[in-house]
Amino acid sequence: MSSNAISKIKDAEIKAETLVNDAKDKSFEIQEQMKIQGKEKYDEIVKEAELERQKILELAKEKSREIEAPILKNAENESQKILNTKDDDLNSIADSIVERIVKNYGNS
């Protein structure tokens, strides 16, 4: 084999090695870019999920307030009725309760 052919083969081997190294470098760069893009996408999804969670939580709070309001209003009205009951009426109710207890259990 002539020295010219050997030189061409060596040049081809060097070029092939350079191409392989360049391909490895490019592959590494692509992997790093994909990791970055994947992390960004993940962060975006997590952020969107957090916003959605906040919306759902706020809707649940509003719904519970809607349900709670009439119950509280009713309880307030009932407590006002009790507070506004005259002492004579309360004594009469208490006497009736005592009378029932004594009547039912007094003869045992």
What's the whole-model pTM score?
Answer: 0.52
Instruction: Read off the tokens for 60.
Output: 């649940």
Query: How many domains are there within the chain?
Result: 1
pLDDT at 64: 95
Positive or negative, the CA dihedral 8, 11, 17, 18 is: negative
pLDDT at 93: 84
Read off the pLDDT of residues 64-107 as tens digits, 9 standing for 90 and up: 999 999 999 999 999 888 888 777 777 888 888 888 888 777 66
pLDDT at 21 over 90: yes
What range defines the domain where residue 66 resides? 3-105
- How far apart CA 26 and CA 13 sit, in angstroms, is 20
